A and B are shown apart, each in its own frame.
Chain A
Amino acid sequence: MDEAHAKRRRRDLVVAAVLALIAALVPLFVKDVYVQNIMVLTLMYAALSQAWNILGGYCGQISLGHALYFGLGAYTTALLFTKFGVLPWFGMLGGGLISAVIAMALGYPTFRLRGHYFVIATIVIAEIGFLLFHNWDWAGAALGIDIPVRDDSWAKFQFTRSKLPYYYFALVFCCVAWLVTWWLENSKWGYWWRAVKDNPEAAESLGVVVFNSKMGAAAVSAFLTAIGGSFYAQFVSYIDPESVMTFQFSLLMALPAVLGGIGTLWGPVLGAAILIPLTELTRSFIGGSGRGVDLILYGTVIVLISLARPEGLIGLFSRRPKAKGAPQ
């Protein structure tokens, strides 16, 4: 039986490698910039949702405030670069670390809350973050920050002529987020998180330090989310609170995981691959006047999913091995 388990994990790894390879080759055939743009966003949201899934899916702490960490990543990179000339790569790392620390500082009081109360707290805290940045003059307040773009450069991580470098970074980011999850899933942390999600009291009786488990999940999740924020800042080269810290980002990180399969390895990737192109396409078809139609779409998707397949679309692909041995 150990063999079956090891085999399953190896199979996941092989599938991921094949998918990554295909994704790496796609831009050779797809030259359309608009489509490339959608692919970059899809990969980014797949990674972000994977990050969200660590805290929300595996550890069961549903956060609808991850826009805060996304925004922190974006702002840290942009501020460090425009004010101090620090290269985005360091800003990315810095943003990740700051977010991880803040996630733990916020987790200290909020992880005592359960269920809906925790969700409400995450929404409110992210909203406070939004308002702070909205009114913080040094950080550009409501006007935001314009990242000066000169020439294409890997050091400054900015490219004007082609979207491909962004595409490949997003792909690597997505692969890293997936690999981190893959590795954590079969570690002490992964087991602890799932135990905490299912039954904290029983987990404690088995030696699981519930509070620390949540803190660990929050830190990893926030770190990866902030990396995504840093990337996004470089990708769009202009950020303001509206464009990186609104509630909609929190939703867009949670939804792919929920759609694809919450607390599963492949859920976020599958969910993002469906939801993000769908969102972008509806937006462009309906045009500027259709603002909000994508939100209607999310709502519909959530309702359909929770009715038809509460475990997520991944349930269509993988069947659990049939029960062996009759109950006695």
Chain B
Amino acid sequence: MTAPLLETRGVWQRFGGLIANSDVSISVGRGEIVGLIGPNGAGKSTLFNLIAGVLPPTQGSIIFDGEDVTRLPATARCARGIGRTFQVVKSFESMTVIDNVIVGALIRTTVMREARRKAHEVLQFCGLDARADVLASQLIPSEKRRLEVARALATEPKLLLLDEVLTGLTPTEAQTGVELVRRVRDTGVTVLMVEHVMEIVMPLVDRAIVLDLGKVLVEGKPADVVRDPKVITAYLGDRHAVGA
């Protein structure tokens, strides 16, 4: 078996007295779609930010593509091939959609013509090319989510971190999103996605990792994970786990 693309080894994150992640060790294989799920306050977003490089972990290490990236800032991790989206969308509001994506493309090339071509290609892939010359501030919420994905894809990531991109969408929009994630994976990009809504992610992911109270609770095939009593307890409380 080849080495995983991403590995966290015994990662801890403390915020003062609060332990957001305790001894989290997960791995994501090349070409996988992995879902990171768990109830509110489970430490998903923290772990996500640690992988993206927003903050360094209190303890433990993060290995990406065979390299220890624990101490690298977000910019350097992006250059190494970690792309991300934000849960609360952070578009460059005063720039057009195409310019937003060009910013991402510029990490791989400094030739403007090339960056622009790449940006159009990515926008087409995400179904946003018709809106290329519109200001990002004029997009509707679901389009902004897709812009987040497009921008991250323009950096040509090996690993794409999706932070609740499907949450809060209408069922049709969510379905389009699911298809987009599949197509992204088909281009050879590994996907790690944080999601809240189980019924959307479960059919999509190859493997699910459930976090609870900052620890890895269960991991495995989605079908097994949803039946696991521990998971049901974590989400719904003890009473509902009895029948499982």
Contacts and interface: CB of A to CB of B under 8 A. Distances in A.
Contacts of A203: 92, 103
A184 B67 CA distance: 35
Interface in B95-116: 95, 98-99, 102-104, 106-107, 110, 112-113, 116
Given A199-B91, A321-B133, A205 B116 contact: no
A206 B78 contact: yes
A1 B98 contact: yes
Interface in A171-192: 186-188, 191-192
Nearest to B109: A188
Interface residues of A, number: 32
A320 B134 CA distance: 8
A188 B73 CA distance: 20
Contacts of A263: 94
B151 to A, nearest CB: 6
A208 B113 contact: no
A324 B130 contact: yes
Interface in A249-295: 263
Contacts, number: 101
Contact of B92 (A4, A198, A320): A198
A90 B79 CA distance: 41
Contacts of B86: 201-202, 205
B102 A191 contact: yes
- The size bracket of the interface on B is 35 or more
A188 B131 CA distance: 22
Interface stretch (B33-41, B57-65, B137-145): B137-145
A1 B75 contact: no
A187 B112 contact: yes
Nearest to B127: A328
B6 interface: no
B133 A192 contact: no
Contact of A324 (B78, B131, B151, B155): B131
Contact of B103 (A4, A191, A325): A191
B106 A191 contact: yes
Nearest to A2: B116
Nearest to B79: A207
A199 B92 contact: yes
Given A187-B112, A192-B103, A199-B91, A327 B139 contact: yes
A187 B106 CA distance: 9
B131 A325 contact: yes
A9 B156 CA distance: 28
Contacts of B131: 323-325, 327
A205 B51 CA distance: 11
B52 interface: yes
A150 interface: no
A205 B14 CA distance: 23
Interface string B23-67: 000000000000000000000000000001010000000000000
Instruction: Report which residue of A1, A203, A204, A206 has the largest number of chain B beta carbons within 10 angstroms of its beta carbon.
Output: A206
B72 to A, nearest CB: 12
B128 to A, nearest CB: 9
B152 interface: yes
Given A204-B73, A328-B142, A328-B143, A194 B95 contact: yes
Contacts of B98: 1
Contacts of A194: 92, 94-95, 99, 103
Nearest to A201: B90
B78 A205 contact: yes
B173 to A, nearest CB: 8
Given A1-B133, A202-B86, A195 B103 contact: yes
Nearest to A206: B104
Given A203-B103, A208-B103, A1 B120 contact: yes
Contacts of B91: 198-199, 202
Contacts of A206: 78, 103-104, 107, 151-152, 154-155
A203 B139 CA distance: 19
27 contacts: A1-B98, A2-B116, A4-B133, A186-B112, A188-B110, A188-B112, A191-B99, A191-B103, A191-B106, A194-B94, A198-B91, A199-B92, A202-B86, A202-B92, A203-B92, A205-B52, A206-B78, A206-B151, A207-B107, A320-B133, A323-B138, A324-B133, A324-B134, A325-B130, A325-B131, A327-B143, A328-B127
Interface of B: 52, 54, 73-75, 78-79, 83-84, 86, 90-95, 98-99, 102-104, 106-107, 110, 112-113, 116-117, 120, 127, 130-135, 138-140, 142-143, 151-152, 154-155
Given A5-B116, A320-B135, A328-B127, 6 more contacts: A2-B120, A194-B92, A204-B74, A205-B86, A206-B151, A324-B133
Interface of A: 1-2, 4-5, 186-188, 191-192, 194-195, 197-199, 201-210, 263, 320-321, 323-325, 327-328
